[in-house]
Amino acid sequence: DQQVKQNSPSLSVQEGRISILNCDYTNSMFDYFLWYKKYPAEGPTFLISISSIKDKNEDGRFTVFLNKSAKHLSLHIVPSQPGDSAVYFCASGTSGSRLTFGEGTQLTVNP
């Protein structure tokens, strides 16, 4: 039972444009959501998070949107830079419980 799904295994965008990465979850009890970025041969790096009491959280070029009714969250990167090329994982969970990760989306930003 895949409770967190990232349906796009890959995404390619031009430098300077917007990157939108999507994530869907099935467990309505999830109340905390995170995005991690992973470069090859490195561990995931925390990027941004959002709790279920909010529908938007912004940090510089990164914005996460949460649509609880649709059980959907997205990560927007504006403007995209070549250094953003990495695998992006969304993760979800409830207070005090394990995080469940999606399969990841490979983002490629072309110069």
Partner 1 sequence: EAEVAQSPRYKITEKSQAVAFWCDPISGHATLYWYRQILGQGPELLVQFQDESVVDDSQLPKDRFSAERLKGVDSTLKIQPAELGDSAMYLCASSFFQGNTEAFFGQGTRLTVV
Q: Which residues contact 12 (CB under 8 A, 6 or more apart)?
A: 107, 108, 109, 110
Q: Which residue, 34 or 109, has its beta carbon nearer to partner 1?
A: 34
Q: Do the beta carbons of residue 59 and residue 48 sit within 8 Å?
A: yes
**Binding of partner 1 by 60 (CB under 8 A):** no
What H or E segment, with its residue span, contains residue 86?
A: strand 86-93
Residues 12-51, interacting with partner 1 (CB under 8 A): 31-32, 34, 36, 41-46, 49, 51
Residue 74 as a binder of partner 1 (CB under 8 A): the answer is no
Residues near partner 1 (CB under 8 A) are 4, 9, 31-32, 34, 36, 41-46, 49, 51, 89, 91, 93-104
